[in-house]
Structure 1
Amino acid sequence: MEINFIALVVAAASTLVIGFIWYNPKVFGTIWMQESGMTEEKMKGANMPLIFILSVFYAFLIAMVLQMLTIHQWGAVSMVGGDPAIAKPSYEAFMADYGTTYRTFKHGVFHGTITGIFMALPIVGTNALYERKSWKYTLVTAGYWIVSFMLMGGIICAWA
């Protein structure tokens, strides 16, 4: 299978759009600032272009993994050692029959949601425990990642 880098970049960039909405003061931004200890003064001193570039880069790395989790056919590719050129004829027959099965936005959202709940929530929650952050912080931050994984999974599964 070919990697669709455009889909991965779009999925990664979608996290910025979600973040602009999610962390808006009228949505969860005020709660997040209060619970994280962030202030307007701290925000003004930040190098925002660098933060946005690194955020998209990190989201791109996440998209690479989500691709493997949302597209079932990657499992078939891994079963042949990652190189379809050396696969047995049964691989080509399988891909001919099932190569586009479950390749929808809805299916990607499903897998993105599951990944967010079972991957992002525990990571954010564990960090919040050690950083002595509140449950509100955990829910706001993990919620952002769950929604991001949902949209990223949908984009990747439908387009890649």
Structure 2
Amino acid sequence: MEINFIALLLAGIVTLVTGFIWYNPKVFGTIWMKENNLTEEDLKTGNMLKIFGFTYIFSLMITVILMGLTIHQSGAVGMVGGPPLLESAKPSFAAFMADYGTAYRTFKHGALHGFMSGLFFALPIIGINGLFERKSWKYIFVHAGYWMLTLTLMGGIICAFA
């Protein structure tokens, strides 16, 4: 199983693209700014290169985990010791990969696992932080919704093309 690093690099951009749309004032940006007590002027003061650069790096970190969650064959590769040991794997591994090497490698399947990651990882984490920070449910749902959408798209891209 070879990894398509270009697909992973492209999946990492999804956080920026969906964020640009999701947090636009015409979508949820106005609610987000109000719930965070931010103004348009506040947003102009940040170091955009730093913000977008680290966002992309963190997004690439997410793609690594999503690859394991969306591509089931990653588990089979891991069972034989990873890519360096594929050639020395037992014949049963080759037979398994011949039969199931492309099973469930679709956008739809990856999107399902991406959505589940958003629902069962992102929502609880954002929810816990939001509750302790005394944030509103609007705040929690705006951020959790963003991550559910973003992880759905990233999971689909990764599963279908990585």
Q: Indicate the TM-score class for this superposition, using the shorter chain for normalisation.
A: over 0.9
Q: TM-score, normalised by structure 2?
A: 0.95
Query: Partners in 2 of 1:123 and 1:36 — Cα distance?
Result: 18
Asked if 1:144 is matched to 2:146, the reply is yes
Q: Match for 2:93 among 91, 94, 97?
A: 91
The offset of 1:67, in angstroms, is 0.3
Structure 2, unaligned stretches of length 5 or more? Answer: none
- Match of 2:128, SS? helix
Query: Partners in 1 of 2:157 and 2:145 — Cα distance?
Result: 18
Query: Partners in 1 of 2:141 and 2:114 — Cα distance?
Result: 17
Query: Partners in 1 of 2:55 and 2:76 — Cα distance?
Result: 31
Amino acid at match of 2:75: G
Query: Partners in 2 of 1:131 and 1:84 — Cα distance?
Result: 47
Query: Partners in 1 of 2:95 and 2:38 — Cα distance?
Result: 55
Partner of 2:41: 41
Partner of 2:23: 23
Amino acid at match of 2:63: A
Moved over 6 A (4+): none
The offset of 1:37, in angstroms, is 1.9
- Match of 1:46, SS? coil
Q: TM-score, normalised by structure 1?
A: 0.97
Query: Partners in 1 of 2:79 and 2:159 — Cα distance?
Result: 20
Amino acid at match of 1:87: A
Amino acid at match of 1:30: T
Partner of 2:103: 101
Partner of 2:67: 67
Query: Partners in 1 of 2:80 and 2:49 — Cα distance?
Result: 42
Asked if 1:113 is matched to 2:121, the reply is no
The offset of 1:41, in angstroms, is 2.4
Deviations 1:102-132 (A, max 9, x none): 0011111001001110011111111111111
Amino acid at match of 1:50: K
Amino acid at match of 2:117: T
Deviations 1:42-73 (A, max 9, x none): 21110112111110110110011000000010
Amino acid at match of 1:105: F
Deviations 1:13-50 (A, max 9, x none): 01111001100111100001111222222211101121
Count of residues paired in the alignment: 160
